[in-house]
Structure 1
């Protein structure tokens, strides 16, 4: 490789002095507009470092002359938005959750606020539309509720959760592990399953379901009721419809009777403020499965929302 600088006759530009197999590289200067753009960006960078946080430090960055930061701007915008929403939030806070439907505009605002909170805290389990996940998390869109689905009861469950240890107000229902604990033998469990599938209109009555009826009355009716219609006082699910979180087929019911699921729901009262919980209750209520309270229960207390099966029972 030869090195010899010369002026290229065709362009009048000096070469860099390198040659490869007769091919030479021209030392063409950068366009003037490009150089000016480079100089402007250098000046802009220096000015930016002086005015805004940019220089890396051990525990952050230089503050800059303006003292501006994206985090500070976000905080200011959030504070401004909180001031804007304050009248509505105060009105929701001052209205008992059961009284929201009587004030449609306030109820609508609560539903919208609850929808936003639901997307942050609840969709991970209950899904974006509250439809739940089969065999995992209950649907909030149907009208099957372990402890009732009016606004006050929904609010209570969101506040206190399901099976939270060391929290005396949490909702807790306990179904015995009839198989694991040896309360019923395998054949007896099969008969009880036949009876449950009969009252839920999945099987025709037979000798097995007849034997199961006797066992059901002795072991299950105290919670689920003599006809399997459930017991909201103890969170016992209804067994006579077609709504099953963990499945209504024979194998699924057998597994639940043998070893109950005993699902858990966080108590959001320890994480969210009362107004957010009230708005969440309004949103869940609006999904389609909410029930009207049997009596106007302004300020009433009472745990709520779980579809049958969220409690770990069939």
Structure 2
């Protein structure tokens, strides 16, 4: 039996291995670490026996306990649906005003409406409902067809200029290129822009006042504050749907663009429409 070699510097026995004059010290792992490592092995073996874990060709081992994460998830979903049923039934039976007046129902409706909004409405109105060119901002107080709960519900239910619903909102601004001279259109654009901004030519804007009174006031009102019964926008609030500036107004007066919003009642059902209504109204712009 060869004599054990002891390292002169550390005083630790070496393993007997030597590489280029360098010897390996024999420093075994601490006992507590070894026992912990063995325990983890035993734990893994026990887990593999008790729970589904070992992959097979088409499935996995079932485990002695018969646990299934999918079955557990289904149970949790069923419990959640059962808890929601009472709220869903109340929402189906009550009006949007009654839902909004009930704190618990309102909270539930806002949560459900927010979810439905992200899936169905955000592509046009934006994830924050701030809108974009041609798509209205739902956070402000500018409502073409009314911003109270009942009006919002009707708009969501039946849409705007949607051919598939006979109760849809319908309004169309005529193409004034066929009615007015280009100089008149430029004048009325200057007047409308001057309601909230400084017009490029004050004299031209003043001339457009009469053009507006003769051709536009019937829908937009003498004060240009719009008419929700006709879907005519307020022109005196500095909120522009189709673009701001005199040139943009000229283009809209000359050849108007008319947006289309689908009717959502048939697709989503009245309960979801009510939730959307309460959610949109809660954004702060509802009246």
Answer with 1 or 2: which has the greater Rg.
2
Distance 1:50 1:183, change over 3 A: farther
Q: Which moved more, 1:92-101 or 1:161-170?
A: 161-170
Distance 1:178 1:30, change over 3 A: farther
Alignment pair present for 1:150 and 2:140: no
Q: What do you get for the CA RMSD once the two structures are aligned?
A: 3.8
Query: Which residue number corresponds to residue 191 of structure 1?
Result: 187
SS, match of residue 14 in structure 1: strand
Query: Which residue number corresponds to residue 238 of structure 1?
Result: 234
Deviations along 1:99-157, whole A, 9 cap, x unmatched?
445xx3x2x223212332344343643554x5x14646433343321111221221122
Ranges in structure 2 where 5+ consecutive residues have no aligned partner: none
Distance 1:45 1:163, change over 3 A: farther
Query: Which residue number corresponds to residue 275 of structure 1?
Result: 271
Separation (CA, whole Å) in 2 of partners of 1:134 and 1:208? 30
| Offset of residue 58 of structure 1 | 7.1
Indicate conservation of the 8 Å contact 2:190/2:204, yes or no: yes
Ranges in structure 1 where 5+ consecutive residues have no aligned partner: 1-5, 292-314
Tell me the matched-pair count: 276
Alignment pair present for 1:31 and 2:26: no
Indicate conservation of the 8 Å contact 2:139/2:283, yes or no: yes
Report the TM-score, using the length of structure 1 for normalisation. Answer: 0.68
| Offset of residue 226 of structure 1 | 5.0
Report the TM-score, using the length of structure 2 for normalisation. Answer: 0.73
SS, match of residue 230 in structure 2: coil
Indicate conservation of the 8 Å contact 2:144/2:231, yes or no: yes
Indicate conservation of the 8 Å contact 1:126/1:138, yes or no: no
Equivalent in 102, 105, 114 of residue 110 of structure 1: 105
Distance 1:49 1:256, change over 3 A: farther
Alignment pair present for 1:284 and 2:280: yes
SS, match of residue 23 in structure 2: strand
Distance 1:230 1:30, change over 3 A: same
Query: Which residue number corresponds to residue 138 of structure 2?
Result: 140
Separation (CA, whole Å) in 2 of partners of 1:217 and 1:209? 13
The 5 A counterparts of 1:1-314 are 7-9=5-7, 10-19=11-20, 22-26=21-25, 28-56=27-55, 63-100=62-99, 104=101, 106=102, 108-122=103-117, 124=122, 125-128=125-128, 130=129, 132-133=130-131, 135=133, 137-162=135-160, 164=162, 166-175=164-173, 187-200=183-196, 202-203=198-199, 206-213=202-209, 215-216=211-212, 220-221=216-217, 223-225=219-221, 227-246=223-242, 248-257=244-253, 260=256, 262-265=258-261, 267-270=263-266, 272-291=268-287
Separation (CA, whole Å) in 2 of partners of 1:175 and 1:57? 68
SS, match of residue 25 in structure 1: strand
Deviations along 1:73-101, whole A, 9 cap, x unmatched?
33322322332343333222211224445
Distance 1:86 1:121, change over 3 A: closer
Indicate conservation of the 8 Å contact 1:194/1:209, yes or no: yes
Separation (CA, whole Å) in 2 of partners of 1:271 and 1:224? 33
Indicate conservation of the 8 Å contact 1:16/1:27, yes or no: no
| Offset of residue 159 of structure 1 | 2.9
| Offset of residue 7 of structure 1 | 4.0
Indicate conservation of the 8 Å contact 1:8/1:14, yes or no: no
